[in-house]
Every structure is written in C-alpha cells, then in structure tokens.
Structure 1
C-alpha cells in the first residue's frame, strides 16, 4: 500500500480520491474548523493541526511515496490582489517546499509530488510564479509536468484546476504516461505559454503528461438538487422576484427559455458587480442553464455563495445551494460528515479538490508511475 502525506488537507478530499490503495501517514492543515471535519471523517491519528512553517521532518513519519499539497489559492486566483507566491496565503507554498527540501537532505524525499491550485497559478506574475515552482522542483531533482483537469468531465460542476505532478530522481518515466508535446485536452494555451517561461534547467526536466479520455458523464446539475434540503430555506416569492429583478435582459431571456423546455431546469446563479447602461457599478444576478453548476467558491461574502433557480414551467423558485448539494458537486459521498454551520460547510467544499479528479489522476499517472519505480528498484536490487 502506497503511503502519502496530505498538506493543506482541508476536509481530506485528496485522501477520499486516492482511495483504498493509499494510506495516509500524515495530514496537516492550519484551519481548526476544517481539521475538525477531517477528524470526524478520517480520524485524528495522522492529523497535525497547525502552521506548515512550524513543522519539522521529525513530525513526518517514514518515507512517503507521495506528498500532496493543495496549497492556498487566494493570492493566485482572479479574485485575489495579484500577490501570487509572495502573498501571505499562497506564499505558504514556500515553507511547505522548505520542508520537502529538508526531507531530501535526510534521504526521505517523497517519490512523487502533486501540487494542486487554480489555473491562475499559470499566469500569476506573468508566469514567473509557475516558473519559480518549476525551478524549485528541478533544482531538487524532480522531473515534472502539469495538466489542467476540469471537474466537469466527472461531475456537473465547472471547476478547472492545475495539477503539477513531479517524480523524484532519474527514474525512467514510462513512455505511455507522456506525450511528445502538448495535448489540447490537458495542456491549454496558457499552460503551454507557462512552459515557455521555464528556465533552461527546469525545462530540461519537464514532461508532458498524457491522460486517457475521461468516461462519459451521466449526471446533470438537477440530479444533485433536493426538494427538501437541510441547512437552507426556499426563498419567498418576493425574494425570488428581487433576484430576477437583478438580472439583465440577456439573463432574463435564459429564464424564459428555461420555462419553455417542458422539463425541470436548474440554473446556478452568482451575483456579480457589473457596469449598468449608465456606466455605474451595479450588482447583477447571472444565471446559467447548461446543466452544470458554476465553480464553487469560498463564501467570503454573500456574492460568493451560489444560489439556484429552479424552473418548472411557469413556476420559478430560488434558494442558496445547500451544503450537501455542494458536497455532491465535489464528488463527496453521502456518508461524508459536513460541518453543521452553513458557511463552514460551504467553505469546506469551495476550497477543496474534486474527488473523482484525484482518483483519475491517481489511476492514470500516480499509480502507474509508482509501479514503474518499484520495478526499477527491484532490478537494481
């Protein structure tokens, strides 16, 4: 069974995705509320709650096959202030990395590493942040490659995320796991441009990971929605009317089109600040009816919480997305224990990694790569 460390663990969604072939040897998160949910679902034996900068190699047991780090995205996201890896939150990558270097010095470098974040990590500081990560990995003897995987291929939830997968040492990477060049499905233009910003040294250790076509998704947004949700209430007619009143003509036309479909339509709504016809700032409600939820976010403000609009003929209802519905959109099982507080539960989901995406990555890159490493070790022995 492969061993892994889970950094910035949140509610343990990477652990859920890795599954039964993997055993967690150590988990860490700074947030005590998230850690409480982690403990409720996975137990607290491997969990260390606290600042990653205060960890030492002595806190980490054994030698891990994988170190997974979904480090904070706030300073790298479009909603951030552009601080990037110099920011207070996303900059926690560096103390994590220092810990990895210390493990290497002791001969305990993880065989594999996965760094997960928003796609803004590709363009932050004009690609210099991505290049800095590449420089760190290559300098420590890791070969690495990046892919962008959208959860929408597995769940009715639009959530593209960047995954940097690194392999330690001069291990021969199986040809079946890499492509000769970028593949549009996994390597969008902004990722290809970021590769172009790598130093010569880092580029020499970079690869183009390849993945198979994902299986056809059979679920739609409406499938995860409940008629009698827990933790939220249905809006009154007046509240729904006010929400519709915040829509532009374009978005109202989407509602009208949904009424004519003859089936139950579920739309996701986010409130955004836009310029009105006079050029003044105004809050608008924007809806999508493509059977997919908008990307879940952390509920820093009211506009960051996704609402839903359910249209069945002339009947139109609205409310906030429930915590359990948010969990389903992340691929968490029904038995997963969520915080009782709405914002805490929504924050946990909005700040996590989609479970089936982790499983897909593990099945098609991480596990085959570990098998190749083990085979190589046997031959040397």
Structure 2
C-alpha cells in the first residue's frame, strides 16, 4: 500500500493525540493507513514496540528520559548534569547509559538478522508524528535488503595502535575492535602479550603500504599518528616531514575506502600540532578531512584530570556529513573559549571560520583523585632498584639551587614524600628538574635510557632515587591491569607507554562524546549508508 506524502499528512491530521501515550498515538496513526503491525512481539530480539514482520521492519519508541535524550533537549552539557541535584546521580546516569548501550546492541543484532530497525524518540512522536509515520511507511513500502548497521555496531579500527591503549579505553565503554595497525614490531609484541586475539586483526606494516581492501568497515577509525615533527620538543619539521607525514597515509586509506568510509574519526596528537608552521599544518589536516566529507571538532584534554601525570593532548573528532544529522558550523564571531577549547584553540577556530566545523558542547573533565604516591610500588629501601650513593649524589648535583632547596626540605621532613625528576639540557648542561606537586611529568619515549622519569623519595633525613618501572608507567597511563610479558625489555615497555594515549582520557571521550552521538544517530534511521 503506497500513499503519497500529502495523503499521509491528511490522515495524520485526523489522528487525535491529546491524552494518549506516544506509542498508542503512533499505533493509531499507522492503523489509519491500513497497516496492522504486531505489538511487542516476544519472538523478535529486543522485543520491539511494533514490528512489520512480513517486511522485517522493527520499530522502537524510546522514552527521552530512560534512553538518554532528555539532557539533550534541555541543552545540558551531559547526562550527568541532568541529575546534578540528585543524591543518586551516579546510579541514574549509569542506568541510562546501560540502556543506551543496549539500544545500540539490539539494533546491531537485528540488522545482522536481516531486520530494518527504526527508533523514534517519544518526543518525536508527539511533536512530529507525520514525519515518524512517513519514515515508517517508506521503510515498509521500499522493504530494502537490510544493510550492515555500522553505527549501531560501535566497532573501530585503531591505526598507529602502538600497545593498544586507545583500544583499552574504547572497549571499557562498549566498543569492539575490528582492525589494528602499527609498523613497530616491538609494540606489536607488547600488544600481543596483553591482547591475546591480536593475530585476528593486527596488521604489522607501514600505513603507506596498506590497501584499503585490508581495512574492514567500522564505525570509528582512530589515528594517534607520530608527533615527532609537530612537538615543541622536536625539530618541528611539520606534517610533511618523515614521521608525522604518516597522517597522509591514513588520509589516503580513508579516501580509498570510498562508500565504506567510517562515519566517525578520532585523531590524537600533541598541542604543538595547532601551531606547527604557524597553524598551516593543522589547517591542512582539517581541510583534508573536510574534503573527504567530514566536519571537525577539536579539543584539548589533559591526562592530569584522570591520573597523576601531566599529559595535555589534542583530539579531533570528525563526523561524516552524509549522516542524517544537523552539523552547524560556528559563526565567524565564534566566542566559545573554555577549558577544552582554550584561547589557543578557540582563536584558531575563529581565524579559520571557512572550515567545516561541528563543535559539540562538552562538560568539564573531572579533577584527578590520585597522586603520584598512590601509584608507586612500595619497594623496601634495600631493593636493588634504588640507585647507589654515587649515582644518586650525581643526580643531586644536577639540581638547580632552587630545586636543591626543595629536595632538602623533603629530606628533612618526618614523613616520606615523592617527586619525579626529568633531565633536560639547559645552556648546554644536563640539568635535573624536580617536580613535587603529586603529579609526574609527561611520559616520554626513551631512547638509550634518556627521557626516562626518575622517582625521588625523601624523608627522615634520607633520600632514595630510582627509575619509574613499566608497571608504574602503566598506572600513570590509566592502564593498571596491563599485562606485560617478562620477556619484554624494560626500555621497549617504557617506549610503548610513553608513546601511547591515556586510557581514561579515551574513556571520557567515549562516554561524553562518541556514545551520546551514536545514541542520537541510531534514532529514526535503519542504517548508515
């Protein structure tokens, strides 16, 4: 039974909505058009509210409160803000996030079983019944062969995977790995020691030599490409230099995936990317994503909000414009400076208003609850890891007068306290800088022993010095449960963690950005094409 849009509108005007629930209102509307769907069929996974079993179309009418839309309608920064005045806010938010996750899983499974799935908010039924019914009629009348529901699957490909910490963060929030790639065999070995399924999806090799056909269709592609040529600590060769030019290998792959391009992309790099070559490198990267059909949303997030490590990083979420969603660009007078988009970044956005932006409102990240002392192994003072007298005195002599005074104050206390030391070259001299605020400096990628952070323990008139070990570095990255094979060399492990992404930072992005966006996008559409 095929009706025109005009005929559907005429019938909808005759459907009385006052005093009825959204589900009853919708059911009454489709019956007016001559359809007789099955109500709450128990033989269909997820028990949809209505099902057109002959056409294999399943309809879910989701309550805005219980399925995570009310906070969006109220224009709040996050779901948590909806319960800011409730003593049970953690419980309520967790329950609703569980519903959101289940919605995606149900939609993905039904799609795999050959169903077209439509999800409507109750508010859409009440405010735009005509559109909801028209969408349903189109799905029933066309009865297309169901396509893979990429959005609902929440799958990802992890490029520049390293030891897999992006994977660890995403999996904690309900995402599933389908592909990983890195060119470093030592990192691949560490990855395999923790993720025993690496042989199923990890492709070792140069990204410039990967064929797009080797990459499966996924919801999200992540790329933590090399920062060597973008970092303020490096030579600043830029996005076309030897290491950081790997970004263009990633762009080539995405382009060659054609109609299989992932709906979403997540980039990660150092803040120096914003100013590299006076901002031209960052602009080129974002322009390349625009040209592939993506709108972009950059923000800065520091690991110190989650773990006792200062590690500020730039993230960019790119969302494909073919998705049935509204992606407004900021006006030329964009004035949205915030913790996540500070002056450096907000100024860049204003100066490049011709780029295609999609800037979501995000909540402020949490304040850390752990200190350096909380992640340190309680080794006895006699342990062989502590440096001998000569070696630790040599370090002490490398302190500046200011830092030496701080160290002496720690030594004279009647309690143990901890700091981290990092060696830097100042005026052609190797200097040791002591940090004592309970936070470690940014973990680096040590080569030949340089760049490794040093632990300084002092009190009761004594002091002890040793290097941070791999497990302590894992904790500083929020990867407390990471399994390291005893065969892995210490420097290889430290290189892996120093070149990785903070796990809880990725979790935060998934919780407050990726998952809510997926929750919006799976509504009112059978699949992302």
Tell me if TM exceeds 0.5.
Answer: yes
Question: Once the 2 structures are TM-superposed, how far is the Cα of residue 379 of structure 1 from its aligned partner?
Answer: 9.5
Structure-2 separation of matches of 1:74 and 1:378: 43
Structure-1 separation of matches of 2:281 and 2:384: 39
| Equivalent position to 1:134, from 265, 268, 286 | 286
1:299 aligned residue: 446
> 1:101–1:109: 8 Å Cα contact kept in structure 2?
yes
2:474 aligned residue: 327
**Cα distance, 1:86–1:166 mapped onto 2, change above 3 Å:** same
| Equivalent position to 1:186, from 330, 340, 345 | 340
| Equivalent position to 2:484, from 324, 330, 337 | 337
2:241 counterpart of 1:84: no
Structure-2 separation of matches of 1:4 and 1:170: 19
2:211 aligned residue: 56
1:27 aligned residue: 180
**Cα distance, 1:336–1:151 mapped onto 2, change above 3 Å:** same
Question: Once the 2 structures are TM-superposed, how far is the Cα of residue 18 of structure 1 from its aligned partner?
Answer: 0.4
> 1:5–1:25: 8 Å Cα contact kept in structure 2?
yes
Question: Once the 2 structures are TM-superposed, how far is the Cα of residue 336 of structure 1 from its aligned partner?
Answer: 2.4
State which structure, 1 or 2, has the greater radius of gyration over its C-alpha atoms.
2
2:365 counterpart of 1:217: no
- Secondary structure class of the residue paired with 2:385: coil
Structure-2 separation of matches of 1:302 and 1:99: 35
Deviates more, 1:347-356 or 1:299-308: 299-308
Query: Which one scores higher on RCO, CA 8 angstroms, separation ≥ 6?
Result: 1
2:72 aligned residue: none
Q: Deviations over 1:4-50 (max 9, x none)?
A: 00000001100000025111111000001101111222222110000
- In the alignment, structure 1 segments of 5+ residues that lack a partner are 276-280
**Cα distance, 1:318–1:379 mapped onto 2, change above 3 Å:** closer
2:420 counterpart of 1:268: yes
> 2:190–2:493: 8 Å Cα contact kept in structure 1?
no
* Structure with more strand by fraction: 1
Structure-1 separation of matches of 2:271 and 2:384: 31
Question: Once the 2 structures are TM-superposed, how far is the Cα of residue 348 of structure 1 from its aligned partner?
Answer: 0.4
| Equivalent position to 1:10, from 151, 154, 162 | 162
5 Å-filtered alignment, 1:85-124, equals 85-103=239-257, 105=258, 107-124=259-276
> 2:179–2:201: 8 Å Cα contact kept in structure 1?
yes
Structure-1 separation of matches of 2:361 and 2:387: 46
Structure-2 separation of matches of 1:59 and 1:160: 33
> 1:147–1:209: 8 Å Cα contact kept in structure 2?
no
Structure-1 separation of matches of 2:462 and 2:481: 29
- Secondary structure class of the residue paired with 2:352: coil
| Equivalent position to 2:378, from 217, 227, 236 | 227
Q: Number of residues paired by the alignment?
A: 365
**Cα distance, 1:335–1:125 mapped onto 2, change above 3 Å:** closer
2:498 counterpart of 1:368: no
Structure-2 separation of matches of 1:78 and 1:301: 21
> 2:190–2:488: 8 Å Cα contact kept in structure 1?
no
1:75 aligned residue: 229
- In the alignment, structure 2 segments of 5+ residues that lack a partner are 1-152, 329-333
**Cα distance, 1:262–1:218 mapped onto 2, change above 3 Å:** farther
Question: Once the 2 structures are TM-superposed, how far is the Cα of residue 262 of structure 1 from its aligned partner?
Answer: 3.9
- Secondary structure class of the residue paired with 2:274: helix
2:7 aligned residue: none
Q: Deviations over 1:313-352 (max 9, x none)?
A: 3110001111111111001133422562011000000000
TM-score (norm 1): 0.90
> 2:474–2:482: 8 Å Cα contact kept in structure 1?
no
Question: Once the 2 structures are TM-superposed, how far is the Cα of residue 76 of structure 1 from its aligned partner?
Answer: 0.6
Structure-1 separation of matches of 2:252 and 2:193: 30
Q: CA-atom RMSD, angstroms? A: 2.1
Question: Once the 2 structures are TM-superposed, how far is the Cα of residue 185 of structure 1 from its aligned partner?
Answer: 0.7
Structure-1 separation of matches of 2:171 and 2:492: 25
> 1:135–1:198: 8 Å Cα contact kept in structure 2?
no
5 Å-filtered alignment, 1:150-189, equals 150-171=302-323, 172=325, 181-189=335-343
**Cα distance, 1:320–1:219 mapped onto 2, change above 3 Å:** same
Q: Deviations over 1:246-266 (max 9, x none)?
A: 111011111123235543211
Which 4+ residue blocks in structure 1 deviate beyond 4 angstroms? none
Structure-2 separation of matches of 1:345 and 1:298: 10
**Cα distance, 1:7–1:248 mapped onto 2, change above 3 Å:** same
Question: Once the 2 structures are TM-superposed, how far is the Cα of residue 126 of structure 1 from its aligned partner?
Answer: 0.6
Structure-2 separation of matches of 1:294 and 1:222: 14
Structure-1 separation of matches of 2:461 and 2:503: 36
